[in-house]
Amino acid sequence: MITIALSKGRIFEETTPLLAAAGIHALEDPDSSRKLIIGTNREDVRLIIVRATDVPTYVQYGAADLGIAGKDVLDEHGGEGLYQPLDLNIAKCKMMVAVRNDFDYEASIRQGARLKVVTKYVKVAREHFAAKGMHVDLIKLYGSMELGPLVGLADAIVDLVSTGGTLRANNLKAVEEIGEISSRLIANQASFKLNRAQLQPIIESFSTAIKSAVK
């Protein structure tokens, strides 16, 4: 049995065409079903539906053979025990630093101010600011980072930005790009070696589908 770990919503939606290219069709829609294990038309393939941040964990420990996770989640996880064979080129966005419209980020860096930063991505943020030689106080949040600078919890946020609509709606501006984000196929390293005959055709179908997709 091949188990593929996915999160519902955006990742599931954008992965469905890739699975279809590999001849894999989910028997239920995770957005309406309460089931956490979803069968497919293939008796030897099942999907498990987990939180986006938990996908690498299931794959790392071999509870799933394959998984699909954002680079943001993988960078924060560290990638231990994972093989990353493919950039799927889906769920694309950017990891950015953003501040209030009226905050002068460049000036505060020049002055060597110690910034307070809220983020869900503490490891990524720590490494980014350390590489710039900036001293920051990081505060971990689990959602709605945009609120932090508006209520005095922080000077800046580190978060994913796609259209910038949420930033604009909250009087924030992006001031620095940390990196481009897309979702990656991940595989358990041991399972990849052991089940190569089963996994390789799926990976190749994904790869062909990505190359032919017009982006």
Q: Which residues bind ligand ATP (CB under 6 A)?
A: 7, 9-11, 52-53, 70, 72-73, 91-93, 143, 160, 162, 181, 183
Comparing CB distances to ligand ATP, the nearer of 11 and 167 is 11
**3-state SS of the chain: helix, strand, coil percent to 5?**
35, 30, 35
Comparing CB distances to ligand ATP, the nearer of 117 and 161 is 161
What CA–CA distances, in Å, run from 79 to 36, 67, 100?
A: 24, 12, 33
**Alpha-carbon dihedral sign for residues 152, 156, 159, 162:** positive
What minimum distance in Å lies between the beta carbon of 126 and ligand ATP?
18
Comparing CB distances to ligand ATP, the nearer of 31 and 127 is 31
β-strands 115-119, 136-140 pairing: parallel
What minimum distance in Å lies between the beta carbon of 120 and ligand ATP?
8
What minimum distance in Å lies between the beta carbon of 77 and ligand ATP?
11
Distance CA 68, CA 63 (A): 14
Comparing CB distances to ligand ATP, the nearer of 89 and 195 is 89
Cβ-closest residue to ligand ATP?
Answer: 70
What minimum distance in Å lies between the beta carbon of 214 and ligand ATP?
18
Angle at 38 between CA 33 and CA 40, to 5 degrees: 125
